[in-house]
């Protein structure tokens, strides 16, 4: 009996070892390869991938026998495609998206349900060509579980960096208990804080449970169910406390900011990125350049809420509708001004406001705002990776990085919209099945795409 068990144990071990030793090789033939969005594209390139990693990029089309150890490599023919690094969205809320009864769902939906929804929305995002996302606010337990399950290959999805709960003052833009009776929504989430000590604690609490970065709301927001405007909410002192507490623990800080006064207070407090930035002016742009902070423009959020407010007058309550009509058009102007002044831009959508999977339309809106194609591609790869401290991992196609690779039929340097329909997506070495029908109710998806 003892012997048998021992033998079975030994067999199991040897099987496990041989399974691990079996490397998976893939070789992609790229007709046009934009390995680094800051550099020129090259034609007829081969990308050699071993398991999750890019091993090398070679001129010309190599065969499996040309690469040592890769005799069984899977050959992937993208010789008539434009190939580049997977896109990165630095502003998502992957656990949900706008629904007519969103308000009621805040007090009825479980963390477990949110996690499962995140799996589906994550896949829609991945199929849209976004192999990495930075989640900036959402149920703490749900998002950390989703991130970890993807990291451990339990479920497929985009690489996720997550903030946990967004941090907000009581009654502010991120206080999801706004307007509810206390017997319905008694306990605000762990990101709600007032005063310096509470603000530090709110940051440290997110980090304790697993936050990769911190997100706080420096100003009012469009979709909060209050008539508190879109300018500064946290005081200067509170913002400094938030940023200090995060930086002391090695976490970067993203600040939601629309109004100029609150936005500039956030920049002076030392945040690493400003989300939205709708009312920035020339002086604000100078402050961006001085501090080195990124702007994450989220034009599609502005586009979406403006479109809903116009087409469905009763979708939003009155103060939200008012804000939606005001802020939407401001955002494009803000991006143009910031780009012209040399502000660093990192691509981000606010997906969850727009439907997950429509992230690519942001590229088109940025282009319409006056940003050139190449700068947009840099913002969605190299810059986004830099903001997320992922430069060593993704953002370009080069040896040593993980194999996050997408392809499109057209050349996005000439027609950025071609990236709205990627023809090939690989995340961390795994090819994603794109042959899944797009949800019929996906909104907004403009005509012609």
Residues at the interface with Zn ion (CB under 5 A): 350
Angle at which helices 196-209 and 236-248 cross, to 10°: 30
Grouping H, G, I as helix, E, B as strand and the rest as coil, residue 86 is coil
Contacts (Cβ under 8 Å, ≥6 apart) of 24? 50, 51, 74, 429
Minimum CB distance to Zn ion smaller for 45 or for 132? 132
Grouping H, G, I as helix, E, B as strand and the rest as coil, residue 152 is coil
> How far is the C-alpha of 433 from the C-alpha of 426, rounded, in Å?
9
With 0-12 / 13-18 / 19 or more C-beta atoms within 10 angstroms meaning exposed / middle / buried, residue 22 is exposed
Residue 79 CB neighbour total at 10 angstroms: 15
Minimum CB distance to Zn ion smaller for 167 or for 425? 167
Minimum CB distance to Zn ion smaller for 36 or for 89? 89
Q: How far is the CB of 357 from Zn ion (least distance, A)?
A: 17
Query: What are the C-alpha distances in Å from 346 to residues 46, 62, 227, 287, 384?
Result: 28, 35, 30, 17, 5
Asked whether 235 and 204 are in contact (CB, 8 A), the reply is no
Minimum CB distance to Zn ion smaller for 222 or for 241? 222
**Residue tagged 């206080």 (tokens):** 175
Q: How far is the CB of 350 from Zn ion (least distance, A)?
A: 4
State which residue has the least CB distance to Zn ion: 350
Q: How far is the CB of 136 from Zn ion (least distance, A)?
A: 6
Asked whether 243 and 270 are in contact (CB, 8 A), the reply is yes
Minimum CB distance to Zn ion smaller for 115 or for 354? 354
Contacts (Cβ under 8 Å, ≥6 apart) of 152? none
Q: How far is the CB of 95 from Zn ion (least distance, A)?
A: 12
Minimum CB distance to Zn ion smaller for 25 or for 347? 347
Q: How far is the CB of 41 from Zn ion (least distance, A)?
A: 33
> How far is the C-alpha of 152 from the C-alpha of 304, rounded, in Å?
34
**Residue tagged 């007090």 (tokens):** 107
Q: How far is the CB of 175 from Zn ion (least distance, A)?
A: 14
Q: How far is the CB of 217 from Zn ion (least distance, A)?
A: 9
Minimum CB distance to Zn ion smaller for 164 or for 412? 164
Asked whether 225 and 234 are in contact (CB, 8 A), the reply is no
Q: How far is the CB of 65 from Zn ion (least distance, A)?
A: 50
With 0-12 / 13-18 / 19 or more C-beta atoms within 10 angstroms meaning exposed / middle / buried, residue 182 is exposed
Q: How far is the CB of 93 from Zn ion (least distance, A)?
A: 6
Minimum CB distance to Zn ion smaller for 309 or for 405? 309
> How far is the C-alpha of 282 from the C-alpha of 334, rounded, in Å?
9
Minimum CB distance to Zn ion smaller for 45 or for 224? 224
Minimum CB distance to Zn ion smaller for 122 or for 422? 122
Which string of DSSP letters, residue by residue, matches 236-268?
Answer: HHHHHHHHHHHHHTT--EEEEE-SHHHHHHHHH
Q: How far is the CB of 284 from Zn ion (least distance, A)?
A: 19
3-state DSSP percent of the chain in helix, strand and coil, to 5: 35, 20, 45
């Amino acid at each position: 009996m003892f012997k048998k068990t021992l033998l079975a144990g030994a067999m199991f071990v040897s099987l496990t070892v041989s399974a691990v030793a079996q490397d998976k090789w893939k070789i992609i033939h790229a007709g046009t390869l934009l390995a680094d969005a800051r550099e020129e594209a090259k034609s007829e390139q081969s990308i050699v991938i071993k398991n999750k990693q890019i091993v090398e990029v070679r001129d010309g089309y190599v065969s499996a026998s040309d690469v040592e150890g890769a005799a069984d490599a899977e050959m992937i023919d993208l010789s008539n495609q434009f190939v580049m690094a997977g896109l990165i969205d630095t502003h998502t809320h992957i656990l949900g998206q706008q629904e007519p009864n969103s308000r009621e769902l805040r007090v009825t939906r479980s963390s477990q349900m949110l996690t499962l929804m995140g799996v589906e929305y994550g896949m829609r995002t991945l199929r849209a060509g976004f192999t990495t996302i930075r989640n900036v606010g959402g149920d703490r337990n749900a998002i950390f579980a989703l991130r970890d399950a993807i990291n451990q290959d339990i479920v497929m999805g985009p690489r996720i960096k997550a903030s946990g709960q967004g941090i907000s003052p009581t009654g502010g833009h991120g206080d999801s208990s706004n307007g509810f009776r206390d017997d319905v929504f008694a306990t605000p989430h762990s990101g709600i804080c007032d005063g310096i000590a509470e603000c530090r604690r709110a940051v440290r609490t997110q980090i304790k449970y697993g936050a990769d970065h911190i997100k706080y709301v420096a100003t009012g927001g469009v979709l909060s169910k209050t008539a508190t405007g879109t300018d500064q909410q946290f005081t200067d002192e509170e913002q400094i406390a938030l940023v200090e507490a995060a930086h002391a623990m090695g976490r970067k800080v993203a600040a939601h900011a629309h109004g100029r006064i609150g936005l500039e207070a956030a920049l002076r407090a030392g945040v690493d990125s400003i989300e939205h930035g709708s009312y920035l002016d020339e002086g604000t742009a100078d402050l961006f350049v001085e501090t080195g902070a990124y702007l994450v423009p989220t034009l599609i959020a502005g586009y979406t809420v403006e479109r809903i407010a116009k087409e469905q007058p009763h979708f939003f309550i009155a103060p939200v509708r008012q804000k939606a009509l005001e802020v939407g058009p401001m955002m494009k102007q803000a991006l143009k001004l910031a780009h012209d002044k040399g502000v660093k831009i990192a691509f981000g959508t606010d997906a969850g406001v727009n439907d997950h999977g429509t992230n690519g339309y942001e590229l088109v809106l940025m282009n319409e705002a006056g940003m050139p194609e190449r700068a947009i591609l840099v913002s969605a790869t190299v810059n986004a990776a830099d903001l997320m401290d992922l430069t060593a991992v993704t953002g370009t196609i080069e040896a040593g990085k993980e194999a996050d690779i997408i392809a499109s039929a057209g050349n996005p340097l000439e027609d950025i919209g071609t990236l709205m329909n990627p023809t090939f997506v690989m995340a961390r070495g795994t090819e994603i099945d794109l042959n899944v029908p797009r949800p019929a109710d996906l909104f907004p998806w403009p005509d012609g795409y």
